């Protein structure tokens, strides 16, 4: 059983705002409204308490790939990100052979059923060869509904999101199929026009996969998908806030037009996250990681990131100067709502899972709790 305790004295970020000298009561695995007599009090004065981070889009970490690693390796990757504050994670796969991806979906679904991950995100193979990024071109295919349905069925109810180039043959029908099955349809790795993107949104697409990246640039005569995704209130936009994928002005543009309630920070992390520079495989493609930046050996395209969400948070509030509350929304509340899990995670409210991150005054990570148990136990005076 997870212990009961009171974390007292921190600045606590709640949906209603930040409470100075606040407290969070942990009763077993949940956050409670009141503490029984005799509950130990831990003084965390001078710190910040924020909800555990939720990553919608993550391919691995700790040297492990969620697409190809063994179960033990996948668990190591999950733990790597938990050590950096990600208490809820959707495991993303990259483009592969359909039969392989179907088998992989079955394997990952077991981890979802055990509560280790929050589901599966298929990024590819239903993407544009014009905007494939670090995906194998010979394995790409059109998003025909029957093919999309094959992966959804293989995931046994644990498919959470599928990224599609919705302008390809079958794309709009596949969006409708995903919506019917309760799976998020995401527009990404796309060469769509503004009008084609608007059609996909009307059909039910609700996410922009790593907005700005792997899609046409914003143009004054051909605004493309970026304008359509930013302007529509039904769409949540993913952003990779690592200082490599986005210029700070692009991040500011996204927040100004989408607002703080429609942005989700993601890692798009690959194996090297939390592990180090070197050579890795991303699906069938070789990747060189140097100074923390991942690029394909052949062609030099950016190949995911080595980001962890504690770094994304730190950059958001120290470099980008976002209000802490906006960063918390992008890292916790917004992705939790999108996943339909906000009744359990995404904020520090009574009745929810005791998932939280303790940060020092300079926003450095000091502690991580998941379901009432310390993943990183803070070393306090």
CATH at residue 41: 2.30.40.10
Q: What is the pLDDT of residue 303?
A: 86
Q: Which among 269, 264, 205, 214 is positioned nearest to 239, based on CA atoms? A: 264
Q: Is 72 a catalytic residue?
A: no
CA distances from 345 to 122, 282, 325, 334, 336 (A): 23, 30, 16, 10, 6
Q: What is the pLDDT of residue 79?
A: 98
Residues 18 and 159 in one domain: no
Q: Which of 27, 232, 242, 268 is catalytic?
A: 268
Residues 77 and 35 in one domain: no
User: Is position 110 within any domain?
Assistant: yes
The single residue listed with the structure tokens 């970490």 is 61
Residues 41 and 122 in one domain: no
CA distances from 343 to 130, 336, 338, 339 (A): 39, 9, 11, 10
Residues 247 and 328 in one domain: yes
Q: What is the pLDDT of residue 3?
A: 73
Degrees (nearest 5) of the Cα angle 379, 335, 29? Answer: 45
Residues 364 and 297 in one domain: no
User: Is position 360 within any domain?
Assistant: yes
Residues 88 and 146 in one domain: yes
Residues 371 and 313 in one domain: no
How far is 343 from 125, CA to CA, in rounded Å?
Answer: 32
Cβ contacts of residue 276 below 8 Å, gap of 6+? Answer: 289
Residues 140 and 194 in one domain: yes
User: Is position 117 within any domain?
Assistant: yes
User: Is position 381 within any domain?
Assistant: no
Residues 20 and 169 in one domain: no
How far is 147 from 47, CA to CA, in rounded Å?
Answer: 49
The ranges of the chain with pLDDT < 50 are none
User: Is position 146 within any domain?
Assistant: yes
Q: How many CB atoms lie within 10 A of CB 44?
A: 25
CA distances from 222 to 127, 132, 197, 227 (A): 21, 20, 12, 9
Q: What is the pLDDT of residue 186?
A: 98
Joined tokens for residue 240: 């990779």
Alpha helices in the chain (DSSP H): 71-82, 98-113, 145-154, 171-180, 194-203, 224-231, 248-258, 309-318, 324-328, 334-338
Q: How many CB atoms lie within 10 A of CB 18?
A: 17
Q: What is the pTM (predicted TM-score) of this model?
A: 0.96
How far is 311 from 365, CA to CA, in rounded Å?
Answer: 9
CATH at residue 57: 3.20.20.140
Going by the annotation, the residues of the binding site for Zn(2+) are: 123, 189, 210
Going by the annotation, the residues of the binding site are: 123, 134, 189, 210, 213-214, 221, 245, 302-304
Residues 39 and 81 in one domain: no
Cβ contacts of residue 228 below 8 Å, gap of 6+? Answer: 194, 195, 197, 198, 201
153: Cα within 13 Å, side-chain hemisphere: 9
Per the CB < 8 A criterion, the answer to whether 93 and 101 are in contact is: yes
User: Is position 272 within any domain?
Assistant: yes
User: Is position 197 within any domain?
Assistant: yes
* DSSP annotation of 341: -
Domain with 23 in it: 5-50+346-376
CA distances from 308 to 51, 122, 205, 319, 351 (A): 15, 20, 26, 16, 27
Q: How many CB atoms lie within 10 A of CB 239?
A: 25
Residues 12 and 101 in one domain: no
Q: What is the pLDDT of residue 1?
A: 62
Going by the annotation, the residues of the binding site for substrate are: 134, 213-214, 221, 245, 302-304
How far is 223 from 228, CA to CA, in rounded Å?
Answer: 8
How far is 343 from 65, CA to CA, in rounded Å?
Answer: 30
State the total domains in the chain.
2
Q: What is the pLDDT of residue 283?
A: 80
Per the CB < 8 A criterion, the answer to whether 117 and 111 are in contact is: yes
Residues 14 and 64 in one domain: no
**Residue 286 is inside which H or E element, if any?**
strand 285-290
The single residue listed with the structure tokens 């995906």 is 135
């Amino acid at each position: 059983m997870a212990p009961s305790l009171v974390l007292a004295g921190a600045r606590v970020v709640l949906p209603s705002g930040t409470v100075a000298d606040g407290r969070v009561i942990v009763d077993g695995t949940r956050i409670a409204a009141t503490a029984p007599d005799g509950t130990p009090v831990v003084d965390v004065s001078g710190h910040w308490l924020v909800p555990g981070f939720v990553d919608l889009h993550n391919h691995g970490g700790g040297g492990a790939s969620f697409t190809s690693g063994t179960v033990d390796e996948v668990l190591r990757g999950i733990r790597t990100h938990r050590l950096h504050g990600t208490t809820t994670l959707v495991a993303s796969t990259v483009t592969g052979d359909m039969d392989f991806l179907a088998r992989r979906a079955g394997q990952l679904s077991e981890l979802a059923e055990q509560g280790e991950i929050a589901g599966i995100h298929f990024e590819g193979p239903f993407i544009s060869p014009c905007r494939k990024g670090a995906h194998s071109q010979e394995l790409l295919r059109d998003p025909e509904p029957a093919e999309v349905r094959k992966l959804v069925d293989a995931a046994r109810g644990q498919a959470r999101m599928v990224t599609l180039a919705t302008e390809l043959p079958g794309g709009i029908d596949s969006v409708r199929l995903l919506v019917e099955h309760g799976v998020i349809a995401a527009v990404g790795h796309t060469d769509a026009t503004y009008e084609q993107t608007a059609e996909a949104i009307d059909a039910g697409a609700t996410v922009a996969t790593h907005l700005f990246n792997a899609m046409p640039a914003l143009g004054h005569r051909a605004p493309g998908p970026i304008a359509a995704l930013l302007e529509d209130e039904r769409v949540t936009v993913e952003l990779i806030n690592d200082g490599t994928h986005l210029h700070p002005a692009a991040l500011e543009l996204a927040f100004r037009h989408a607002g703080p309630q429609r942005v989700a920070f993601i890692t798009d992390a690959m194996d090297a996250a939390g592990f180090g520079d070197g050579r890795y495989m991303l699906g069938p493609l070789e990747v060189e990681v140097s100074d923390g930046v991942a690029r394909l050996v052949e062609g030099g395209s950016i190949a995911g990131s080595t980001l962890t969400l504690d770094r994304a948070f730190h950059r958001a509030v120290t470099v980008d100067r976002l209000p802490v509350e906006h960063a918390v929304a992008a890292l916790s509340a917004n992705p939790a709502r999108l996943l339909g899990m906000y009744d359990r995670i995404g904020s520090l409210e009574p009745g929810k899972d005791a998932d939280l991150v303790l940060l020092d005054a300079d926003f450095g990570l000091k502690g991580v709790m998941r379901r009432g148990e310390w993943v990183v136990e803070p070393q306090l005076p």
